[in-house]
Chains A and B, each alone.
Chain A
Amino acid sequence: MEFERGFIIVVCRGCTDPACRRACPTGALTDRKGGGVFLNSSKCTGCGYCVSACTIRAVMWDDDSNKPIICTHCGYCVPYCPYKILPMEE
């Protein structure tokens, strides 16, 4: 993340056995078909274990709601990458 060495982008890899789900003590994160997780905000207590569980730091944090930001792989970011670094794959 520094200017001299170039940037990195961090995207959720959609694990099939997600470390963030395993770290969630309240069951707010559930497996998604095809990989990745769903967040049930009402069950989330904002402990932040999911953030530290993700080795690549793909679980972001929303300070205002005190809840994680979970990538749903909707693909909205894909057309905004001018260099096609972010492709949409099944």
Chain B
Amino acid sequence: MRDVLYIDLTKKISYIRDRGDLFEKWMGGTGVAVQLIEEELKEGCDPLGPDNVIVFAVGPLNGLYPMASKVVAVFKSPLTGNYGESHCGGRTAAALKQTGFGAVVIKGKSDIPVYISINGKKCYFRDASVIWGIRSTATVGRILREAEHGAGLRSILRIGRAGEKLVRFACVVSETYRHFGRLGLGAVFGSKNLKAIVISGRGRILVEDKRRFREIYDEIYKKAVFSEATKKYHELGTSANVRPLNFINALPTMNLKDGKFDGAEDISGETIALSRLARRISCSLCPVACIHIAAIREPYPEEPYFYKTTFVHTIMNPFMHLEVCLESETSMDCLAFFMRLITLVLILFQRVYPLRGQLRHSKKEF
């Protein structure tokens, strides 16, 4: 985990450097990522310009212990113009760890849309002009799954159209239901003409003291699966907080104008779990399974007993029912791209809500 992969999108070259100096001093993860960004980032650069730098980094626990499933991305945020740090679950951390790289540094800007495929120690630049502009990031994921090798252990990061159009709070989607949600990493991807990154590695992670490793592993595993500390996340997810927060007038409603929402019961974790929950999913190496996926059945208006089933990430959305979220294509996009930025989503919904009757069957897009 000493090697750092540098990718230059302008020149379409990549190179590997041994940065044991950084990993020995700063361990990995955010510690090393911050050092790398300090080395690479020019002062006063435009966050959406070619000079911005993205650093992904993993730490010593990733890929080894339960619950250590997050990868960190550090960049200059287009939302704040300041330091941007975003974390993401899914498989990215485990996949990156298996490539043997401790960090990946992405610089420059491509002249055409590209995606990067990191396969072990090799890095390929691939034309992404065909998949640029596709409506759903799930579709992009599906296409890349078939186009690239390494199914099962790899990770596919991609942006949607919000990122392509440089929406300053756009996410990067990982494995369909996980996101780099904070501070607009998606827009930085878009500004670099970078549609996606596929990471697959099959390297071994060696452990020095196997017996001690197993002991610590078991200790964390027991806490993750059997203790009260994680029960809430496993059973209902973060929407378990809706009822208690509403009760104490702390449920952010209508872009934080209010702390209480009358329909809180309908969108509480309990209601969704009883009526909508389709399945729970885990990130790689995490037994908690806190990802809650709801199934929405929408009847086709013209035909009886015929439904379109959509799977959506159940989010703490203190504004309306899940069905309402799906009523217009607009909010579906919001759900897919911005679900982690709840307050900003609310601003959009506030504008759309009065129009929802008219938008119901229209294909109008934001």
Residues of A with Cβ closer than 8 Å to B?
Answer: 1-4, 6-7, 61-64, 80, 82
Interface bin, chain B: 20 to 34
Contact between B203 and A64, CB atoms less than 8 A apart: yes
A1-B151, A1-B152 as given contacts; A6 in contact with B279, CB under 8 Å: yes
B138 interfacial by beta-carbon distance below 8 Å? yes
Within 8 A of A (CB), among B96-153: 120, 138, 141-142, 145, 151-152
**Chain A residue at smallest Cβ distance from B282:** A7
B204 interfacial by beta-carbon distance below 8 Å? yes
B164 interfacial by beta-carbon distance below 8 Å? no
Contacting residues, chain B, for A62 (C-beta < 8 A): 204
Contacting residues, chain A, for B84 (C-beta < 8 A): none
Contact between A2 and B145, CB atoms less than 8 A apart: yes
B221 interfacial by beta-carbon distance below 8 Å? yes
The 27 listed contacts between A and B (C-beta, < 8 Å) are A1-B151, A1-B152, A2-B141, A2-B142, A2-B145, A2-B176, A3-B175, A3-B176, A3-B177, A3-B281, A4-B138, A4-B176, A4-B311, A6-B279, A7-B281, A61-B202, A62-B204, A63-B120, A63-B202, A63-B203, A64-B203, A64-B204, A80-B221, A80-B287, A82-B225, A82-B287, A82-B289
Q: Interface SS of chain B: helix, strand, loop or mixed?
A: loop
Contacting residues, chain B, for A2 (C-beta < 8 A): 141-142, 145, 176
In whole angstroms, what is the CA distance A61 to B138 when docked? 29
Residues of B with Cβ closer than 8 Å to A?
Answer: 120, 138, 141-142, 145, 151-152, 175-177, 202-204, 221, 225, 279, 281, 287, 289, 311
Give the 5 A-B residue pairs with the shortest CB-CB distance, closest first: A3-B176, A63-B202, A1-B152, A64-B204, A82-B225
Expressed in whole angstroms, the minimum distance between the Cβ of B198 and any Cβ of chain A is 14
Q: Interface SS of chain A: helix, strand, loop or mixed?
A: loop
In whole angstroms, what is the CA distance A6 to B293 when docked? 11
In whole angstroms, what is the CA distance A80 to B286 when docked? 11
In whole angstroms, what is the CA distance A20 to B279 when docked? 35
Contacting residues, chain A, for B289 (C-beta < 8 A): 82
Contacting residues, chain B, for A3 (C-beta < 8 A): 175-177, 281
Q: A2-B142, A7-B281, A80-B287 are in contact. List 17 more A-B contacts (CB 8 A).
A: A1-B151, A2-B141, A2-B145, A2-B176, A3-B175, A3-B176, A3-B177, A3-B281, A4-B176, A4-B311, A6-B279, A62-B204, A63-B202, A63-B203, A64-B203, A82-B287, A82-B289
Contacting residues, chain B, for A80 (C-beta < 8 A): 221, 287
In whole angstroms, what is the CA distance A63 to B176 when docked? 28
In whole angstroms, what is the CA distance A74 to B221 when docked? 20
In whole angstroms, what is the CA distance A7 to B279 when docked? 11
In whole angstroms, what is the CA distance A63 to B204 when docked? 8
**Chain B residue at smallest Cβ distance from A1:** B152
Contacting residues, chain A, for B145 (C-beta < 8 A): 2
Expressed in whole angstroms, the minimum distance between the Cβ of A67 and any Cβ of chain B is 12
